[in-house]
Structure 1
Amino acid sequence: MKVITIKDMIRKDVPIYYRKLYTGLAIFEMAKGNEEYRIDFSIEYKPTGQKEINITFIDKIDYPLVPVQKELKKYIDEMDSSGALPD
């Protein structure tokens, strides 16, 4: 299982400056082919400088949730660090 991309990503307006909310379509490469799942995710910046990434799957996922979330959090963190997330 591998995250290919997150497409149709939109940032939602939130009045809290240290929290960003997004919605999008996550595309995964699975053993039986590529699969797409709608997701919501948030990135919250703690006072200590740490990031907390939370993911909610809108669609029912046909794969163990923990490894999917782990890979997706890693991918989102890399996108955020490189400035690839929409403003």
Structure 2
Amino acid sequence: MQRTEEVEVQDGYKGFQAQFEALRKAATECRGCAQRLDSLLRGFDTGELQRLEAGRRILRLKVAALNEFTELLKQWEREFERIDEQLAATSPA
């Protein structure tokens, strides 16, 4: 019974890691978009600049949320690693 639970935890952890890496990649891409947008903003007239500035603020809010979520995922990853270590320590060799 415990072996089945270990396999389920390990499978869940592998799925979690794949999702975590996808989210990390998305967050990195969002940061890159924000940097490119910052660069583009320097070349527009005032009206364009105001519209793009609003877009940039929205994008930064989304990136901030992604950063917070990425931190939460890192905490989950550490917790899963701790659980894996406990399972490894308690399982028969």
More helix by share: 2
Query: After TM superposition, is the score higher than 0.5?
Result: no
Larger Rg, first or second structure (1 or 2): 2
Q: Structure 2 length normalisation: TM-score? A: 0.29
More strand by share: 1
Q: Structure 1 length normalisation: TM-score? A: 0.31
The higher relative CO (CA closer than 8 Å, separation ≥ 6) is in 2
